[in-house]
Amino acid sequence: MEWRASHILVKDRALAQELLKRCKQGGSFESLAREHSTCPSRSSGGDLGWFGPGKMVPAFESACKGLGVGSISDVVQTQFGYHIIKLTGRR
């Protein structure tokens, strides 16, 4: 199984919660990623491309496994900060 996902990565939980709220209210995930994410993927709207098992930290991968394509996760904490993850593909 492989997944394709985009994410928004920030250092502050409160900011992550606010961005999640904006996404769920119809805000553009890609625009919010470009504006707020601290990950280099921000330049591509948060797109991380395709990845398989063991390629991402466990909490991130676990969140992807639990999402349907097109769904957005709750805030996920890893050693890198706070992620909002959008699953964009599964194969």
Phi, psi of 51 (to 5 degrees): -150, 150
- Element containing residue 82 per DSSP (H, E): strand 81-90
What are 63-72's pLDDT values in tens digits? Answer: 999 999 999 9
Q: What is the rounded CA–CA span in Å between residue 33 and residue 21?
A: 14
13-53 pLDDT, tens digit per residue, is 999 999 999 999 999 999 999 999 999 999 999 999 999 99
Determine the distance from the C-alpha atom of residue 10 to the mean position of all C-alpha atoms in its chain, rounded to a whole number: 10
Q: Domain 3-90 classified CATH 3.10.50.40?
A: yes
Query: Containing H/E element for 9?
Result: strand 3-10
pTM recorded for the entire structure: 0.96
So where are the chain's domains? 3-90
Secondary structure class of 84 (helix, strand, coil): strand
CA 56: distance to chain centroid? 12
